[in-house]
């Protein structure tokens, strides 16, 4: 193996290890890989930076703005609530949920669609006494299935279209080309959940007085007995700490010891640390008890007065710069003027000093923040979901009809071929701005620059894999199993893409697998299109782990899911989708 190939392979392996460990954000890992390849002269600066001029980058940026306009106008709120209805039978409710989610996701970025639905579903589940863990995985999977129905439904599809620009086959694709395969997949996916999938979903809810069942909104909150306070010297029974409404005393840290067996006659002492487990409302309840103060007085250091603060729940984004850092090193309080009160991971509370917790993508954060925090940071690149606990902010719906009307005209113009995806997307954003469906400030804050950086950098890694011959080696390995059988090669490429997606996210997988499709089609003397479409669907078929797709990470924290939950529910759907894709794609796009 030549030196350049060895360097690229080592860089790729280190990138994968960094992503899987969860300690390095995807964008940072990809940018680091790109810099290493430039310094080692595996790729030239021109080759490395060429990815940032790809049309896909600009189309994705435009659709961040379009998605924000639809969300801010409230265009879908009323429609969504009507569709949910009141039937709590999962084999009836899940189709009513998944069908509209898939439809909306076909023309909007999946992430804001799921972010919009989570608060609605949380309120709906509470009103109907249904566990939230029964509906959030179907929500994420429906958005993924819907996203593959159009060329603009997901950033992965847009990337593949951008990579296909230089090939003659791209001219045969139009906006709804993938729908020929995507619509049957959505139908079978909904049938799967209605008949089988809903039985495999976990039922995690917290019952009165029972804190053994993990609750996705359950946190560990540490409080300290103030020196000389009224609580010091009292037994736990006398203190009233066993009669709280929203939390349970879980353990006591005293004199360097941790006591997890709580007895009512135990005496409280100065500086004892008490760990409570409960719902977010527990923070407010505990702060009202005389003699208790937040651990390390973190909350009291906030400059804003207590009556002007609010509790906020937020899910940490995959590409947040805080991923892999402890709360203290992330400088959260300095950056946002707010304090992380507690952290829940996979539906389980983390019983540690908050400042020492190392943050991971998908963590559910309970934040005490000034009023207006949600408004200022609702488009933050660090959070995938941001909502106040005291209610959902109602949007200004006066522009709802205008927004949807403009989007409909755009779809017709692109579908007719009058406008290309790139020119149409730019014109769409311009018209939304002129009609004041979105402000300049909202548009700027809605664009996730880290995702765009990650996509541009990943293209440079794909170039290195192709230039150094690693793509040829990979293709030879796949073809040694499949021979010259077109269908077997298609299957091998699909499986490789799905595995890459589950490990290193969908966008990176699409970029890294595309050179393999080019070489494989060339060696088989076949059209590139069926192989490219296979990657398009394979890179969006992330159902078995939460790491491969951002929407899976979003619902993992909010629904309290484990990795095993995703695999248990997703393996059946993956088999169904894979079988249908392999059978239908060659019929629509012949070799």
On whether both 39 and 164 belong to a single domain, the answer is yes
On whether both 356 and 431 belong to a single domain, the answer is no
Helix axes of 3-21 and 486-504: crossing angle, nearest 10 degrees: 60
Residue 385: the pLDDT is 66
On whether both 445 and 541 belong to a single domain, the answer is yes
On whether both 225 and 373 belong to a single domain, the answer is yes
On whether both 381 and 447 belong to a single domain, the answer is no
DSSP state of 278: E
List beta partners, residue 297: none
What's the CA gap between 100 and 84, in Å, rounded? 10
Look up the CATH number of the domain holding residue 333. 3.30.70.1450
> What is the rounded end-to-end Cα distance, in angstroms, of the chain?
32
CB 274 within 8 A of CB 225: yes
Say yes or no to pLDDT of 142 above 60. Answer: yes
List beta partners, residue 313: 366, 387
Q: Which of 117-121, 401-405, 582-586 shows the lowest mean pLDDT across its residues?
A: 117-121
Round the CA-based radius of gyration of the chain to a whole number and report it: 25
Look at residues 502, 523, 515, 512 and name the one whose alpha carbon lies nearest to residue 566. Answer: 502
Q: Is the pTM of this model over 0.85?
A: no
| Mean pLDDT (the chain, rounded) | 80
In a domain, 306, yes or no: yes
DSSP letter string, 356-416: GPBP-TT-EEEEEEETTHHHHHTT-TTEEEEEETT-PPPP-GGGHHHHHHHHHHHHHHHHT
Say yes or no to pLDDT of 78 above 60. Answer: no
Number of domains in the chain: 2
What's the CA gap between 13 and 1, in Å, rounded? 16
In a domain, 481, yes or no: yes
On whether both 178 and 30 belong to a single domain, the answer is yes
What's the CA gap between 248 and 279, in Å, rounded? 10
Kindly state the tokens that stand for 197: 């999938």
**Comparison of pLDDT for 396 and 163, the residue scoring more:** 163
In a domain, 394, yes or no: no
With a CB cutoff of 8 Å and minimum separation 6, the contacts of 142 are 97, 98, 99, 101, 102, 105, 186, 189, 190
**Comparison of pLDDT for 204 and 11, the residue scoring more:** 11
What's the CA gap between 520 and 511, in Å, rounded? 15
Residue 412: the pLDDT is 87
On whether both 181 and 96 belong to a single domain, the answer is yes
Say yes or no to pLDDT of 303 above 50. Answer: no
CB 544 within 8 A of CB 570: yes
Look at residues 12, 41, 50 and name the one whose alpha carbon lies nearest to residue 29. Answer: 12
Q: Which of 138-147, 205-214, 380-389 shows the lowest mean pLDDT across its residues?
A: 205-214
Say yes or no to pLDDT of 191 above 90. Answer: yes
Say yes or no to pLDDT of 419 above 90. Answer: no
Say yes or no to pLDDT of 216 above 70. Answer: no
What's the CA gap between 39 and 538, in Å, rounded? 32
Residue 299: the pLDDT is 45
On whether both 74 and 193 belong to a single domain, the answer is yes
- SS3 of 248, please? strand
Which ranges of 395-549 would DSSP assign to H, the alpha helix?
400-415, 421-434, 440-446, 449-467, 470-482, 486-504, 506-523, 529-538
Q: Which residue has the tokens 């909104």?
A: 217
On whether both 322 and 245 belong to a single domain, the answer is yes
Q: Which of 59-73, 161-175, 292-306, 375-389 shows the lowest mean pLDDT across its residues?
A: 292-306
CB 122 within 8 A of CB 558: yes
In a domain, 304, yes or no: yes
Cβ burial, residue 260 (10 Å; 0-12/13-18/19+): exposed
Residue 205: the pLDDT is 61
What's the CA gap between 138 and 140, in Å, rounded? 6
What's the CA gap between 318 and 28, in Å, rounded? 11
| Residue at which a domain ends, from 347, 369, 388 | 388
- Provide the pLDDT confidence category of residue 304 given band limits of 50, 70 and 90: very low
- With a pLDDT cut of 90, the percent of the chain lying above it is 12
Return the half-sphere exposure (C-beta side, CA atoms, 13 A cut-off) of residue 271. Answer: 4
Q: Which of 146-155, 167-176, 227-236, 475-484 shows the lowest mean pLDDT across its residues?
A: 167-176
Helix axes of 155-163 and 55-73: crossing angle, nearest 10 degrees: 160
Say yes or no to pLDDT of 172 above 80. Answer: no
On whether both 254 and 231 belong to a single domain, the answer is yes
What's the CA gap between 554 and 549, in Å, rounded? 9
Q: Are strands 247-254 and 257-259 parallel, antiparallel or unpaired?
A: antiparallel
Say yes or no to pLDDT of 281 above 80. Answer: no
What's the CA gap between 368 and 338, in Å, rounded? 6
| Residue at which a domain ends, from 341, 365, 388 | 388
Q: Which domain holds residue 490?
A: 3-204+419-588
CB 481 within 8 A of CB 492: yes
Say yes or no to pLDDT of 513 above 50. Answer: yes
What's the CA gap between 18 and 584, in Å, rounded? 36
Say yes or no to pLDDT of 250 above 80. Answer: no
Give exposure, 558-580, as e/b (b: 16+ Cβ within 10 Å): bbbbbeebbebbbebbbebbbeb
Q: How many CB atoms lie within 10 A of CB 416?
A: 10
Residue 217: the pLDDT is 52
Look at residues 555, 557, 535, 533 and name the one whose alpha carbon lies nearest to residue 543. Answer: 555
In a domain, 149, yes or no: yes
In a domain, 398, yes or no: no
- Provide the pLDDT confidence category of residue 478 given band limits of 50, 70 and 90: confident
**Comparison of pLDDT for 219 and 302, the residue scoring more:** 219
- With a pLDDT cut of 70, the percent of the chain lying above it is 85
> Element (H or E) spanning 247, and its range?
strand 247-254
CB 503 within 8 A of CB 16: yes
Q: What is the dihedral of CA 466, 469, 474, 480, to 10 degrees?
A: 130
Taking residues 509-514, report their average pLDDT.
86
Residue 397: the pLDDT is 62
On whether both 256 and 183 belong to a single domain, the answer is no
Residue 141: the pLDDT is 94
Kindly state the tokens that stand for 74: 């409230």
Look at residues 72, 124, 156 and name the one whose alpha carbon lies nearest to residue 393. Answer: 72
**Comparison of pLDDT for 313 and 148, the residue scoring more:** 148
- Provide the pLDDT confidence category of residue 212 given band limits of 50, 70 and 90: very low
Residue 396: the pLDDT is 56
On whether both 339 and 429 belong to a single domain, the answer is no
Using alpha carbons, list the distances in angstroms from residue 231 to 196, 272, 293: 53, 10, 11
| Residue at which a domain ends, from 343, 372, 388 | 388
Look at residues 388, 427, 430, 392 and name the one whose alpha carbon lies nearest to residue 410. Answer: 427
In a domain, 411, yes or no: no
Proportion of the chain in helix, strand, coil states, percent, rounded to 5: 60, 10, 30
> Element (H or E) spanning 47, and its range?
helix 45-49
- Distance from chain centroid for Cα 300: 32
Say yes or no to pLDDT of 371 above 90. Answer: no
Provide φ and ψ at 258, rounded to 5°.
-110, 120
Q: Which residue has the tokens 């007895």?
A: 263
Taking residues 237-252, report their average pLDDT.
80
List beta partners, residue 292: 225
Q: Which of 80-94, 159-173, 257-271 shows the lowest mean pLDDT across its residues?
A: 80-94
List beta partners, residue 277: 220, 248
In a domain, 463, yes or no: yes
């Amino acid at each position: 193996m030549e030196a350049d190939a060895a360097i690229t392979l080592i860089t790729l392996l280190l990138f994968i290890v960094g992503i899987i460990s969860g300690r390095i954000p995807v964008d940072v890992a990809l940018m680091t890989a790109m810099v290493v390849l430039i310094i080692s002269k595996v790729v030239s600066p021109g080759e490395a930076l060429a990815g940032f001029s790809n049309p896909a980058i600009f189309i994705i940026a435009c659709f961040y703005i379009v998605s924000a306009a639809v969300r801010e106008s409230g265009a879908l709120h009323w429609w969504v609530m009507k569709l949910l209805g009141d039937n709590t039978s999962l084999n009836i409710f899940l189709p009513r949920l998944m069908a509209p989610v898939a439809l909306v996701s076909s023309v909007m970025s999946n992430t804001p669609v799921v972010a919009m639905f989570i608060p609605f579903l949380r309120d709906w589940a509470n009103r109907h006494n249904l566990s939230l863990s029964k509906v959030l995985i179907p929500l994420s999977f429906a958005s993924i299935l819907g996203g593959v129905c159009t060329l603009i439904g997901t950033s992965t599809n847009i990337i593949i279209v951008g990579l296909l620009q230089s090939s003659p086959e791209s001219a045969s694709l139009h906006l709804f080309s993938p729908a020929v395969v995507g619509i049957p997949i959505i139908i079978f996916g909904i049938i799967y959940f209605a008949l089988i999938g809903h039985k495999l979903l976990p039922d995690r809810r917290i019952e009165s007085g029972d804190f053994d069942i993990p609750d996705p909104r359950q946190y560990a909150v540490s409080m300290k007995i103030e020196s000389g306070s009224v609580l010091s010297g009292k037994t736990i029974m006398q203190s009233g700490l066993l009669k709280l409404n929203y939390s349970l005393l879980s353990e006591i840290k005293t004199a360097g010891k941790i006591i997890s067996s709580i007895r009512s006659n135990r005496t409280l002492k100065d500086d004892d640390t008490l760990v409570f487990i409960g719902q977010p409302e527990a923070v407010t309840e505990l702060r009202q008890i005389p003699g208790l103060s937040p651990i390390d007085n973190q909350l009291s250091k906030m400059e804003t007065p207590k009556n002007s603060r609010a509790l906020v729940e937020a899910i940490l984004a995959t590409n947040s710069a805080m991923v892999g850092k402890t709360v203290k090193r992330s400088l959260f309080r300095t950056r946002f003027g707010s304090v992380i009160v507690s952290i829940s991971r996979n539906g389980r509370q983390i019983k540690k000093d908050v400042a020492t917790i190392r943050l991971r993508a998908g963590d559910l954060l309970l934040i005490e923040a000034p009023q207006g925090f949600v408004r200022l940071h609702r488009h933050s690149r660090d959070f995938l979901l941001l909502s106040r606990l005291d209610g959902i902010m109602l949007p200004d719906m006066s522009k709802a009809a205008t927004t949807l009307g403009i989007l409909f005209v755009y779809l017709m113009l692109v579908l007719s071929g009058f406008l290309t995806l790139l020119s149409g997307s730019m014109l769409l954003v311009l018209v939304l701005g002129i009609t004041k469906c979105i402000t300049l400030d909202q548009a700027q804050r809605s664009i996730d620059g880290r995702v765009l950086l990650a996509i541009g950098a990943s293209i440079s890694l794909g170039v290195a894999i192709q230039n150094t011959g690693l793509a040829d080696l990979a293709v030879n390995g796949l073809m040694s199993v499949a021979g010259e059988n077109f269908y077997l090669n298609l299957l091998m490429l699909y499986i490789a893409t799905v595995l890459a997606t589950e490990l290193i996210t969908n966008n990176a997988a699409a970029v890294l697998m595309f050179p393999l499709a080019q070489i494989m089609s060339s060696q088989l003397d076949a059209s590139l299109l069926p192989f490219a479409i296979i990657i398009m669907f394979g890179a969006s078929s992330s159902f078995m782990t939460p790491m491969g797709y951002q929407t899976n990470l979003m619902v993992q924290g909010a629904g309290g899911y484990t990795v095993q939950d995703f695999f248990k529910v997703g393996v059946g759907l993956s088999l169904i989708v894979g079988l249908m894709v392999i059978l239908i794609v060659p019929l629509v796009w012949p070799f």
